[in-house]
Amino acid sequence: MTQNVAAVPKRSALLDRVLGRIEWAGNKLPHPVLLFAFLFVLVAVLSSVLGGLGTTVTIPGTHQTKTVQGLLTADGVVWLLQNLVQNFAGFPPFATVIMLIMAVGLAERSGLLEVAVRATLARVPRAVLPYALAIVACQAHMMSDVANIVIPPLAAMAFKAAGRHPVAGLLGGVACVGAGYSAGFTVGSLDALLIGITQKSVAVLPGASGVEVNLLVNYFFTAVSSIILGLLGGFLISRVLEPRLGAYEERDEQPEQADISSEQWRGLRVTGVVLAAYVATVLTAWLWPGSPLRGPGGALVPSPVLSGIVTLIFLAFLIAGLTYGIASGTVRSAQDAVTMSTEAVKSMAGYVVLIFVAAQVIALFNWSNLGLVLAVKGAALLKSIGLTGLGVIVLFVALTALLSLFIVSGSALWSLLAPVFVPAFMLLGMSPALSQAAFRVGDSAMHIVTPMNPYLLLALAMLREYEPEARFGTMISRLAIFALPFLVVWTLLLAVFYTLGLPLGPGSGIHLH
């Protein structure tokens, strides 16, 4: 017994040292905006040096030769002066994300998303509750970052009301929201953000304009992932996390679970009916023979429905948010709806600044041909050492997971990786959809164990409502239960899709055709 008790502080001390090292290294990184600014300067200098040396690259499978162009030249200065604004305004994720945020923000601020989560967990049987929580949490990217604020405390209240340990609900919610953030059979602004960056990165390769990417390129993969990870998360909450917490001692000051009011239930019911009617209308219009929403020759894939999916999703969230707000009384006038959408867009101010700088970096990668040189040379190196296929994808997942410990902004990290790896993998015969799916896996799983994640500080504050003496290392050690299993299982699922050649989304296969 004495040995076991003594071993705990040693493990805790080791964990604290490891986390301290990660925190120290992460704190040395500049703000993502400054990081991209430094990268812009680096690309400018490197492109100019390589351009001065006459560096060229021949596109595999063609006779096209591209020469590196330097920014610090007369042509480079002219290019920047003429394209600085267009680089920003024409960046694909920008308009799409802002547009979706207006609709999703309305749905969130009207109360729809929070009440929908509460209603989902309110009447779930005690034994099923961990699995229901995990599956709901794995749809969290629909709510964007607000999911980190809404789901964990609601889960804690639901667990407590069901006679289970509230800390298991709280930390289970934190873990599944974070580690499964890119999964889901729902679609949100994250999908638009990732696909926009992927689309720009595809353009690094000349002649790749025929490669089609759309918002749903990973939909089949993420939908299946949300179920698999949800079941895994429920198992870890119920069989691993909760038993280690011991018995919960009731505290008088703990908040009771708030009931869903009759107005909120009415809002949910009306919204469900209206949303079902909207989806049925869209599907009927898409599937109807001879419909203009079908593609060439009456094809379902590709079709205007897929190419216009952003608009359809925008309308779905807009209709749902307005319907719920009017039916529940949270939206009493048009001004209320406008204010809610405006406040949501205001919260994206930091993202706008980041995108301005990131867009310049990606544009410079493309114009200078430096991204193309790195992609071609990198692909050639991988081929020369025999590292192609699934092996290189697994390594990319591991690299992404490692980098995500220090760069917690998914958009920032994908903006850094995509211009090199998307075209490099395309040269190896792999589709952009596969590159993006691999990034989703690596980027999500490790966010719950890095001190660089600002939402973990919020989670610690929530945890201290139940355990006033809780420390950051203690919380991380509990969340670490989820990180590696999520990473391994999700990678194995991607391997299954790869090995069986399953489509990752509508019309989006593993390999380039």
Q: What is the dihedral of CA 78, 83, 85, 91, to 10 degrees?
A: -160
Number of neighbouring beta carbons within 10 Å of residue 80: 16
Residues 6+ apart with CB under 8 A from 58: 64, 65, 66, 376
- 47, HSE (Cβ side, Cα atoms, 13 Å): 28
For 53-94, write each residue's pLDDT tens digit: 988 877 665 667 888 899 999 999 999 999 999 988 887 667
Average pLDDT of the residues in 184-202: 82
For 340-368, write each residue's pLDDT tens digit: 999 988 877 877 887 788 788 878 877 88
Q: What is the pLDDT of residue 253?
A: 47
Average pLDDT of the residues in 239-252: 79
**Among 493, 496, 158, 363, residue whose Cα is nearest residue 150:** 158
Average pLDDT of the residues in 229-258: 78
Q: What is the pLDDT of residue 454?
A: 64
Q: How many domains, the chain?
A: 1
For 424-449, write each residue's pLDDT tens digit: 888 888 999 999 999 999 998 888 88
Would you say how long the chain is, in residues?
513
Residue 40 lies in a domain: yes
Contact 433, 213 (CB under 8 A): yes
Residue 5 lies in a domain: no
| H-helix or E-strand spanning residue 113 | helix 112-122
Residues 406, 424, 356, CA angle at the centre, nearest 5°? 50
> DSSP H helical segments within 236-348, as ranges?
242-245, 262-287, 304-307, 309-328, 334-346
Does pLDDT of 470 surpass 70?
Answer: yes
Residue 510 lies in a domain: no
Residue 219 lies in a domain: yes
CA distance 409 to 190: 11
Residue 506 lies in a domain: no
Residue 4 lies in a domain: no
> Domain span at residue 427?
11-500
Cross-strand bridge partners of residue 66: 57
Task: Average the pLDDT over each of 1-5, 25-29, 315-319, 330-334 and give the range with the smallest value.
Answer: 1-5
Task: Average the pLDDT over each of 24-33, 71-80, 183-192, 305-314 and give the range with the smallest value.
Answer: 24-33
Residue 512 lies in a domain: no
**Among 419, 364, 356, residue whose Cα is nearest residue 79:** 364
Q: What is the pLDDT of residue 353?
A: 84
Residue 53 lies in a domain: yes
CA distance 427 to 429: 5
